């Protein structure tokens, strides 16, 4: 047993979420009926991502979620969460993505960190000069597998925190300060969201600390060469065919993606 859920249910729930993503078809929320608590929901997430690994995908990083008030308010969940990123989710900067593979995709601006080594599970890496090789502006494509893009905390954890895709802009050395950089999200050259890296737990470096600590608590270790997304500083916006989106982070540059 994990929480209220029998182990076989973890696999069954992971299977439902996996099929929903494969078929690009939303499903009803699962957590309340299955009695999922956050711990059991992380077990479902692990089993869900395991299905991707079984078909040949590779883990390439972690994403933090709900690290800003703007995001918490948008989805009505106010706890920091994390999910797993695989190589198949990554798109080239300036590239394009076929949106018919998704249910109700949204995009949001992110900050990405590139790990230069594997931090110890409880190590504070907030000063992180020794653990981070580079930083980059990034975009995340999120796509809840639940109807109406609506979920509880355990629902969204089980659904790999809505992870669907990401783009990393040019890497650059970590600047002295990361805690007050302007963030813009542009769609078709028009600014649709504005924010600051200060919105991300006060400083996006705290998101990295949280990644190490929260993932470590579930037995997941961050690896050298992995990408860590710090969580969006602004609300996400719908991503529609024909849209060209760009994240602009002051002093770091841009990352862009086109929707087909």
User: Smallest distance, Å, CB 52 to ligand OOG?
Assistant: 17
| Between 14 and 62, CB nearer to ligand OOG | 62
Question: Looking only at residues 226 through 255 of this chain, which bind Mg ion when binding is defined by CB under 5 A?
Answer: 232
CA distances from 229 to 19, 160, 200, 216 (A): 25, 14, 11, 16
User: Residue 259 pairs with which residues in a beta bridge?
Assistant: 97
Sole binder of ligand OOG in the list 65, 105, 165, 204 (CB under 6 A): 65
Q: Is 197 in the site for ligand OOG (CB under 6 A)?
A: no
Q: Is 143 in the site for Mg ion (CB under 5 A)?
A: no
Name the one range near ligand OOG by CB under 6 A: 16-24, 29-37, 62-70, 95-103: 62-70
- φ, ψ (nearest 5 deg) of residue 186: -110, 140
Sole binder of ligand OOG in the list 13, 36, 41, 75 (CB under 6 A): 75
- For residues 203, 131, 114 and 134, what is the CA-based torsion angle, rounded to 10 degrees? 80
Sole binder of Mg ion in the list 9, 140, 159, 209 (CB under 5 A): 140
Question: Looking only at residues 2 through 61 of this chain, which bind ligand OOG when binding is defined by CB under 6 A?
Answer: none
Residues with Cβ within 8 Å of residue 55, at least 6 apart in sequence: none
Encoding tokens for residue 69? 């008030």
Q: Pick from 229, 225, 204, 252: which is nearest to 114 by CA?
A: 225
Sole binder of ligand OOG in the list 10, 49, 156, 252 (CB under 6 A): 156
On whether the CB atoms of residues 230 and 66 are closer than 8 A, the answer is: no
Sole binder of ligand OOG in the list 9, 36, 82, 140 (CB under 6 A): 140
Q: Is 209 in the site for ligand OOG (CB under 6 A)?
A: no
> Measured at CB, which residue is nearest to Mg ion?
140
Q: Is 9 in the site for Mg ion (CB under 5 A)?
A: no
What x-and-dash track marks residues 189-228 binding Mg ion by CB under 5 A? Answer: ----------------------------------------
Q: Site residues (CB under 6 A) for ligand OOG?
A: 63, 65-67, 71, 75, 108, 140, 142, 144, 156, 161-162, 231-232, 236
């Amino acid at each position: 047993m994990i929480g209220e859920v029998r182990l076989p249910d973890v696999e069954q729930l992971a299977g439902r979420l996996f099929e929903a993503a494969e078929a690009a078809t939303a499903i009803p929320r699962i957590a309340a009926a299955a009695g999922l608590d956050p711990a059991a929901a992380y077990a479902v997430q692990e089993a869900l991502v395991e299905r991707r690994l079984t078909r040949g995908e590779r883990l390439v990083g972690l994403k933090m979620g709900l690290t800003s008030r703007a995001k918490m308010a948008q989805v009505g969940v106010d706890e920091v969460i994390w999910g797993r990123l695989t190589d198949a989710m990554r798109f080239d900067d300036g590239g394009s993505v076929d949106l018919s593979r998704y249910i109700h995709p949204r995009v949001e601006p992110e900050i990405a960190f590139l790990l230069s080594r594997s931090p110890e599970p409880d190590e504070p890496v907030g000063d992180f000069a020794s653990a981070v090789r580079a930083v980059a502006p990034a975009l995340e494509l999120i796509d809840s597998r639940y109807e109406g893009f609506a979920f509880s905390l355990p629902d969204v954890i089980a659904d790999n925190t809505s992870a669907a895709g990401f783009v990393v802009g040019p890497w650059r050395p970590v600047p002295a300060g990361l805690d007050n950089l302007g963030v813009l999200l542009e769609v078709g050259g028009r600014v649709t969201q504005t924010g600051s890296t200060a919105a991300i737990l006060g400083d996006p470096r705290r998101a990295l600390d949280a990644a190490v600590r929260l993932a470590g608590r579930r037995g997941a270790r961050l690896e050298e060469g992995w990408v860590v997304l710090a969580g969006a500083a602004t609300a996400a916006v719908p991503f529609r065919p024909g849209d060209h989106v760009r994240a602009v982070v002051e002093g770091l540059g841009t990352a862009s993606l086109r929707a087909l």
